[in-house]
Amino acid sequence: MVLADVSKVKAVAFDLDGTLVDSALDLTVAVQDCLSELGLPLCSEEQVRLWIGNGAEVLMHRALMFATSADVEETRLAEVMPRFKWHYQQNLQKHSRLYAGVLAVLGRLHDSGIRLAIVTNKPYAFTVPLLAGFGLSAFFSLVLGGDSLDKMKPDPQPLLHLMHEWGLKEDEIIMVGDSKNDILAAKAAGIGSIGLTYGYNYGEDIALSCPNAVCHQLNDILPLIL
Ligand SMILES: O=C(O)COP(=O)(O)O
Ligand SMILES: [Mg+2]
C-alpha cells in the first residue's frame, strides 16, 4: 500500500452492492419480473452482474436494451421504473447475502472510532431497508443513495458532500468499493481508495482502475486502515 498515512484516517465510505451485500440475484429477479410482464425475453444473473453499478435506472435501461435489441426511449424507461421498484421492494433481501466478514469488519472499525458512511448508487429507498434488514444501520451515521444528490459515483459529489458534512480533509477518509465507479469517484474527490475483487465491476479487473490497494476479501482492509 498504499494509503499515504493511515494514522490520519478518521472515516471510511463504503459502497454497498458488491462490497457489503451480494444483491445480484434479487436484482435479477426484479429485472426478470419486469421483462416477463412486458412479454420480453429474460436475461440471466450473469448478465445482470455485468449491468450493476450505475443505479437502478441504468440497470433497467441495460436490461431493456438487451431484451429488445434496440435503444430504449426515456418515456418507456419511465413507465417501467415504477414496476421495477415495486418488484424489487417486494424481495429486497430474499436471496441477497452479506459477504464474508462484513459484520466483524464494520464492528472493528466502528469500535476503533472510525466514522462509517454508505455511499452507494443504489436508490436511497432500497438502501435504508436493506441496511436495516441486515442489521447494519447502526454502523453508519450517514447514508447517501444514488438519488440522494444531483450526481452519483463516478462523480465525486457524494464523497465531497460527505467530507463537507463531517469536516474531513482528503487524507482523513477513504472509499472502499468493488467498482471502478468507486475508485474514479475517490480519485476525483482527491481521496484514497481500496478496490475489492469479489463484487461486480462490469467483468473488469478492479486493479485496472488503480485504487491505492486491492483486497480479495473485506477482512483484508483492516490492516490497511487500523
Ligand atoms: O445499485 C448499483 O447499481 C450499484 O450500487 P453500489 O454503488 O452500492 O455498488
Ligand atoms: Mg458496488
149-161 pLDDT, tens digit each: 999 999 999 999 9
Residue 21: other Cβ atoms inside 10 A: 26
Is 171 an annotated catalytic residue? no
Instruction: Inform me whether the pLDDT recorded for 7 exceeds 80.
Output: no
Domains of the chain: 6-23+96-225 (3.40.50.1000), 24-90 (1.10.150.240)
The answer to whether 180 touches 202, Cβ cutoff 8 Å, is yes
Whether ligand 1 lies within 6 angstroms of the CB of 199 is answered as no
Report CA(22)–ligand 1 centroid distance (Å).
11
For residue 2, cis peptide bond before it (omega within 30 degrees of 0): yes
Mutate to test the pocket of ligand 1, among 14, 16, 60 (most ligand atoms within 8 A of CB): 16
Average pLDDT, the chain: 96
Per-residue pLDDT reduced to its tens digit, 165-203: 999 999 999 999 999 999 999 999 999 999 999 999 999
Q: Is the CB of 143 under 6 A from ligand 1?
A: no
C-beta of 54 in contact with ligand 1 (< 6 A): yes
Q: Which ligand is nearest to the CA of 59?
A: 1
Task: Answer whether residue 2 shows pLDDT above 90.
Answer: no
Residue list for the binding site for Mg(2+) = 15, 17, 178
Ligand 1 contact, 17 CB (< 6 A):
yes
Confidence of residue 5 (pLDDT cuts 50, 70, 90): low
Could you tell me the three cell numbers for 142? 450517514
pLDDT at position 107:
98
Complex confidence, ipTM: 0.99
Options 15, 22, 26, 182, the catalytic residue: 15
